[in-house]
Amino acid sequence: MADHLPEPTLLQYTPDFIASMWVEPSLVGQQDAVLSAAQKLDPVASDLLDCIRLAVAPGDPVPDRFRRDIESDGEDLWRLGALVPRVRPSEGGTLDPRYYAGMCRLNDVFAGVPLWPELQEAHPYTAHPPPSHLRADAIIVAAVLEMAPLRLTQAGVMRRDDHRRFLSSMGEDLGRWSLALAWAQAAGLVRSAGPVLSGYPESKPRPISEPLLLLGEAGVQTAGALLLRVAGTGWVDLGQLSEELEARCPEVLAAKTRPRTRWSRREWKWLQSAAAGLHRMGLLEAHLNANGVVGFRASSPWTPGDGGFLLTPDRDILVDPREVSERMYGRLCRAAPYVDGDVMHRHRLTQDGVTADLANGYDDLLEWLERWSRTGVPANVATGIRDWQRSAVRIRLFTGVSVLEDPTRAEDRFTILNGPAPAEARQLQYRGGPPARFEVVEGVIRVPFGEDALTVRVLADRIGMPVDPGPLGWRWEIAPEALDDPADFLNTLRRFHEGPLPGELEAAVLGATGTLTARSEACTMLVLPEAAADALCRDRVAGPLLTRRLDARTCVVLACDIHVLRQRLEWLGFGWQVGPDNEDASDPDTAPIDVLAP
């Protein structure tokens, strides 16, 4: 039993109250004395003491929701020394503790005293692993955010839509990945780096001082603290604990704001959520069924194994995260991104992952896989990794060499010449800027021989489909791909074209974006009197409606403006006449526009 120093405040109680105390104030710090005196508590006061001990840790303030019960049934708790006022009178003064029911704390002497040990019976329960490994999930989240960081607002927080979109991309179990992200942030695996939230999968996770904050809702956090105080070496049935709490400590988790607030609708759900969350965090061992946690007990220390993983010929990696170290699993998540799995995870080696592994300073991926893979490294996987590593290495440029291009070859079109160039070969000198130009002839893009630098041919591939070369150069049919910034691309094309770009090419590039739309409007052709045509176009009302002039007399007027224009002309004294119907009505392109006669 642990003893504590006597509380100085108890020595300043009023003499009458000190005389009524069950334990001498000087002995209140001795655990044996307090627990022995607690045997004299009546059942109501004993339940109240258990309720307070379940709700708060020794030394913590007692919540205000217990104030009414302490005033009515807790006088013996003051005599026992279980409660201590959170105030201290001035030197020489005294106080009566019974007036401080709303300003007290639990005595430190109860630290380490088991709570309700009778609930820890010999239940036929076995410890089941959590639905997922939280620490491994956090490393997976860190690896994903290392490859694609999330943007942050100016206040340094994630937008709600970005947060929801990220969790949805991780999998269907949003609760699992939400808890993993929160744990990764608390452990330092995910940190803000300027305007983004980035991951560091190989960092050593720092201890989490307040794991209950990861449970989210305040009621669930309170329930989680209660479960940790009750948990011991024996199994505790969660349903039985809930029944005892409802009967003996109905306000242990929250005040009853309404008389009809049902335990099953609020507190029971908090207990279930807290037990599931603590089980995922490894703070409790649990026995599970289809509805969740059935029983729980204190968790035993966990140490990672020194195992490995299985590498299959299709580049899949099967691993139990509990069998590998966290640093090793962090590198695995980078080189082989997570695919799926809860307890047993499936990863897959990808080119992006191998490139990221190289970018982080590792050049021994094959040796590392060979060391930890229980099935070795299949030959096809090793070949693929070497190819990806070669493609990720920086390109080395050789100067002072001659390169021969043979356009008739499908492969190996470029070779380095060790001797003189063939007599029939056309030589291009690249000491200055390489000649590059293109032209459009009858809807076909042509790059003349001798001015066919790689830069202009790459551009031609983006705006056309290659056809057989002609006698004067390479040829492409105009068929541009959709571009993100067509204006910038057109400016690049103008550098390689003499004069303005042909309209058909520029229009095809702009139209390929699929965002531009032509619009048709109903209109009427109006012929004005020759003598007054110019004056009418300058009229205050009619002028703005006659801006689309085809010649000195003819204007195109929108159908919606005809009525207003007709009224204006008639007000000015002009007549209104519909022209003769001498067009071909069977031809949709020349059919007349019907205008109502005045």
What is the residue-wise DSSP string for 233-259? Answer: SSEEEHHHHHHHHHHH-TTSSS--SST
Q: What is the pLDDT of residue 138?
A: 92
Q: What is the pLDDT of residue 5?
A: 47
CB 184, CB 191: distance < 8 Å: no
CB 194, CB 145: distance < 8 Å: no
* 330 token code pair: 């962090």
Cα–Cα distance measured from residue 464 to residue 481, given in angstroms and rounded to the nearest whole number: 8
What are the two backbone dihedrals, phi and then psi, of residue 386, each rounded to the nearest 5 degrees?
-65, -40
CB 42, CB 231: distance < 8 Å: no
Cα–Cα distance measured from residue 176 to residue 170, given in angstroms and rounded to the nearest whole number: 10
Cα–Cα distance measured from residue 320 to residue 315, given in angstroms and rounded to the nearest whole number: 17
What are the two backbone dihedrals, phi and then psi, of residue 404, each rounded to the nearest 5 degrees?
-105, 130
Q: What is the pLDDT of residue 428?
A: 61
Specify the DSSP element, H or E, that contains 197.
Answer: strand 196-199
The pTM of the full predicted model, rounded to 2 decimals, is: 0.60
> Cα 340 from chain centroid?
17
* CA-closest candidate to residue 275, choices 299, 302, 251: 299
CB atoms within 10 A of CB 529: 12
Q: Which residues of the chain have pLDDT under 70?
A: 1-7, 257-261, 302-306, 393-401, 407-408, 410-411, 424, 426-433, 580-598
Q: What is the pLDDT of residue 485?
A: 84
Query: Which domains are delineated in the chain?
Result: 8-113 (no CATH), 134-199 (no CATH), 211-298 (1.10.10), 310-392 (no CATH), 434-511 (no CATH), 520-598 (3.30.70)
518 exposure class (CB count in 10 Å sphere: 0-12, 13-18, 19+): exposed
CB atoms within 10 A of CB 537: 17
Which sign does the torsion angle of CA 230, 234, 238, 243 carry? negative
Q: What is the pLDDT of residue 274?
A: 92
Q: What is the pLDDT of residue 369?
A: 92
Q: What is the pLDDT of residue 594?
A: 38
Token pair 């499936």: residue: 346
Cα–Cα distance measured from residue 446 to residue 289, given in angstroms and rounded to the nearest whole number: 72
* 389 token code pair: 């590593």
* 509 token code pair: 């590039």
Long-range contact set of residues 1-8: C-beta below 8 Å, sequence gap at least 24: 1/30, 1/31, 1/32, 1/35, 2/31, 2/109, 2/111, 2/112, 3/29, 3/30, 3/31, 3/32, 3/109, 4/29, 4/30, 4/31, 4/108, 4/109, 4/111, 5/29, 7/81, 7/84, 7/107, 8/88
Q: What is the pLDDT of residue 588?
A: 44
Specify the DSSP element, H or E, that contains 347.
Answer: strand 345-348
What are the two backbone dihedrals, phi and then psi, of residue 507, each rounded to the nearest 5 degrees?
-65, -40
Beta strand pairing call for 473-478 and 464-467: antiparallel
Token pair 């003893």: residue: 3
What are the two backbone dihedrals, phi and then psi, of residue 283, each rounded to the nearest 5 degrees?
-85, -15
Q: What is the pLDDT of residue 259?
A: 61
Cα–Cα distance measured from residue 584 to residue 587, given in angstroms and rounded to the nearest whole number: 6
Q: What is the dihedral of CA 405, 409, 413, 415, to 10 degrees?
A: -80
What's the pLDDT tens digit per position in 201-238? 988 888 888 888 888 888 999 999 999 998 888 899 99
CB 274, CB 295: distance < 8 Å: no
Q: What is the pLDDT of residue 210?
A: 87
Q: What is the pLDDT of residue 338?
A: 93
Q: What is the pLDDT of residue 398?
A: 62
56 exposure class (CB count in 10 Å sphere: 0-12, 13-18, 19+): buried
Q: What is the pLDDT of residue 354?
A: 92
Q: Give, rounded to a whole angstrom, the gap between the first and last alpha carbons of the chain.
A: 111
